[in-house]
Amino acid sequence: MSWTEEEDKKNQQNLTNQQGELFEEDNSGQNRNSDKESDSSKSSETRLDDNQQLWRLLEKTLSDNVIEKRRARRWKIFFRFTSLIILLCIVGLWLGRSALDSNVTGQNTVAIIPMDGVIGSGGDIDGNEYVDILDDVYRNPDLKGVVINMNSPGGSPVQAGIIYDAIRQKEKLYPSIPVIVVVEDMAASGGYYIASAANKIYANRASLVGSIGVISSGFDLSGLIKKIGVERRTFTSGRNKDFLDPFVPMNKEGKEKWQAILDETHQQFIDAVKAGRGDRLKITNDVFSGMVFTGQQAQKIGLIDGLASLHDVLNSQFPNDKQVIYGPKQDPLDEFAKKFGVEFATKLLSNAKLN
């Protein structure tokens, strides 16, 4: 094998070419790896940017939501506070007007006292409560008259007597101030007991007036429990302690004692009516029998003075006087709610249009 200079050059050039190719391959591989690393870093940065944007968006949304809730809460508090202020103003105006109405000064006034319902302690017409009302009425220095609007079937003779005595006492202390009773549907029994204390009594021609009597009723059930085989055991101290027991037959002594109590109470009623009505009363067999009369009949026997309504009496005898209503005390808020509800309903109905 022989070597020439030309072959040496060729071999050296081939070797150089091969080394160049290997170097290019290494460079291209490195370039590809660097490109992959670059792409990977770029994608990581992209994902990081997306997450940051998402967190920023979420943070902004939550922040806006909190701000909106705070704003809504502020408006809610504002409207509640405003509503409370308006309500307090309305209540204040109402109470102020009520105070002015009940304490009118500088103008002649006539007091109107409604008495509606059953007479009894803690009931519709309570004696002690109406005594306080009368005291309140007569504190007004400009009082010119008292009108009692009566509508009662009666009730407790004790409570009726308390009011009767209070009216008679006021008439003695203030003789120039007339007390007038106007009967609506009825002034019976204890209702008429109170009415008879007035200077004048008026009623409608169909009103029920009178019933000057006393009643006590019950049942004798002693035969019933014996019939059904029930034995009742009662222990008393005092032989008459159970004389009103419906399960025990009433003996003669108990009947006489109880009748005496009723008769005495009846006589007190009669004396009160005679003192109140005086010579105007025409005593007949029926007047004190417990019988009830119409207004027209009552006028004929002097139980009333005439036929007139509350409106007629006020217009004829107190035409220029301020009318002030005095009644049992009510809770101011309940009174306001009731009055406000009635006024609202009235306005609503007045504005309604019928098709």
Catalytic residue list contains 196: no
What is the distance in angstroms between the CA of the first residue and the CA of the last residue of the chain?
133
Residue in the block written with tokens 């079937």: 153
- Identify which of 102, 140, 265, 115 has the alpha carbon closest to the alpha carbon of residue 201: 115
| DSSP states along 19-72 | HHHHHHHHHHHHHHHHHHHHHHHHHHHHHHHHHHHHHHHHHHHHHHHHHHHHHH
**Do the bridges between strand 200-203 and strand 208-210 make them parallel or antiparallel, or are there none, so unpaired?**
unpaired
**Do the bridges between strand 292-294 and strand 208-210 make them parallel or antiparallel, or are there none, so unpaired?**
antiparallel
Determine the Cα–Cα distance for residues 30 and 212; give it in Å rounded to an integer: 130
Amino acid at 321: D
Q: Which is the catalytic residue, given 189, 196, 207, 211?
A: 189
Catalytic residue list contains 257: no
Q: Which is the catalytic residue, given 241, 257, 282, 329?
A: 241
Quick one: which H or E segment has residue 312?
A: helix 310-317
Six-digit token string for 265: 């109470």
Determine the Cα–Cα distance for residues 99 and 107; give it in Å rounded to an integer: 15
Determine the Cα–Cα distance for residues 42 and 30; give it in Å rounded to an integer: 18
Q: C-alpha angle with apex 75: 69 to 77, nearest 5 degrees?
A: 100
Determine the Cα–Cα distance for residues 344 and 68; give it in Å rounded to an integer: 37
Six-digit token string for 74: 């502020």
Q: C-alpha angle with apex 223: 222 to 226, nearest 5 degrees?
A: 90
- Identify which of 153, 81, 95, 84 has the alpha carbon closest to the alpha carbon of residue 124: 153
Q: C-alpha angle with apex 248: 246 to 250, nearest 5 degrees?
A: 90
Active site amino acids: 189, 241
